Amino acid sequence: MKKKIGNSLGKFPNNEKHYVLDVLNTNSKTDKNYVQKLENKFRKIFKTRYAIACNSGTSGLHASLASLNLKKNDEVIIPALTVVMDAYSVIHLNATPIFADVDPDTFLITADTIKKKITKRTKAVMLVSLQGLPVDIKPIIKLAKKHNFIIIEDNAQDFYGKINNSISGTLGDIGIWSFENKKHLSGATEGGIITTNNKILAEKIRKFAGIGYKNMTATGGRTSLSIEMVQDPNYERFDTIGLNYRMPQIVAAVCLGQLENFKNIIKRRQEVARYFRDAIKNCNWIIEQKIPKNFTHTHYTFAVKYFGDSKKGISWKKFYKMYKNNGGDGFYGACVCPHQEPSLRNFFIKTKYKKKIKTPVAEKIQKQIMQFKTNYRSLKDAKNKSMILKKLIAQIENVK
């Protein structure tokens, strides 16, 4: 019988610690390959042919785009409302990020906003399932077939979301997930995984993320080689220029323990979201991110748009302080639109970026969005915080 380690209310209450100790106690590099175990389990759950573990979602983006052999002036369309790393991954490959606007209610990129940005140079489109809501990908797949571009799904904030019965992240050409510590599943620090059904892309991604070892394949790391072959001064190891984006075995051990419990982790976040949904139920100046029919939202956060400044004369920041003063945990604002971040503004000046960026919806709602935490480990604590929000709304409504 396994000895119990840690407590049930901790962040890693299941097999995570046992697996980490197993890695530390192993005598061989190949004896306990938790990276391979993680990849195999992920592949089966998400029903994809290939899964490649990496050390972060950002490195997963970079490796995935690198597999497309992008050239200078090739274009990759990304949402105007997302994290800046999506743009960074394009820029690091000497390609051009093109910013498409988003839907004002779902906050997500759409086929219509993408259509306006497609040119002969468009090589890929990056879809970002913000806050855990899947992007409506089916009309985008039709566009991809017509215009011959690759679809990359950035699912860092969405884990096992669904459109009808199809799993988000598996419908495009490449899917990417993050195991950064605040994400649905945590690697305790960082971590990521990439999936695809394309063998050629899978091998390119694995080689790029694995320093270019020539014996890497779509399905695994360096294949088994005789020791005599490797112990040779003439043995050539690399046939691809890549980077070391490999996932450490200890991180894989933690991720595997998390993956075994993923349904409960998602269910808890969705339950927390229901508490906050109830808190704003009768409020017409705090409006939840729209969830289309037959879409399953996995709630990285509970995201809303705030109209209290115009309807109640209370600014976003003042409402934040009121919530905190009443005992709330606070909440996050949406990340600044990538093209408005100083890093990209400076880059555009230096490189004489000439593409016109017109994304009024993204720029407007970025200022309105509030993101309430859903990663409470205690549902009682989460309910208490939602009640604080509910009482604050009632307090404001009753002010004459």
Does position 29 have pLDDT exceeding 70, yes or no?
Answer: no
- Return the CATH number of 16-261, one of 3.40.640.10, 3.40.600.10, 3.90.1150.10, 1.20.1260.10: 3.40.640.10
pTM: 0.94
Surface-to-core class of residue 164, CB atoms within 10 Å of its CB (0-12 exposed, 13-18 middle, 19+ buried): exposed
What are the structural domain ranges in the chain?
Answer: 16-261, 263-398
Relative to beta strand 301-306, strand 369-373 is antiparallel
Does position 217 have pLDDT exceeding 60, yes or no?
Answer: yes
Residues 131-168 pLDDT 10s? 999 999 999 999 999 999 999 999 999 999 999 999 99
Tell me the CATH number for domain 263-398: 3.90.1150.10
Residues 60-89 pLDDT 10s? 999 999 999 999 999 999 999 999 999 999
Residues 272-311 pLDDT 10s? 999 999 999 999 999 999 999 999 999 999 999 999 999 9
> What's the CA gap between 144 and 128, in Å, rounded?
16
> What's the CA gap between 51 and 212, in Å, rounded?
17
Residues 254-269 pLDDT 10s? 999 999 999 999 999 9
pLDDT of res. 1: 40
Does position 226 have pLDDT exceeding 90, yes or no?
Answer: no
Does position 185 have pLDDT exceeding 70, yes or no?
Answer: yes
Does position 2 have pLDDT exceeding 70, yes or no?
Answer: no
pLDDT of res. 231: 82
Conformational region of residue 76, where left means phi above 0, alpha means psi within -120 to 50, and beta covers everything else: beta
Q: For residue 131, which of 333, 330, 286 has the smallest C-alpha distance?
A: 333
Tell me the pLDDT of the chain averaged across its residues: 94
In sequence order, the 6+-apart residues with CB closer than 8 A to the CB of 275 are 379, 382, 383, 385, 386
Relative to beta strand 286-288, strand 301-306 is antiparallel
* Higher pLDDT, residue 261 or 27: 261
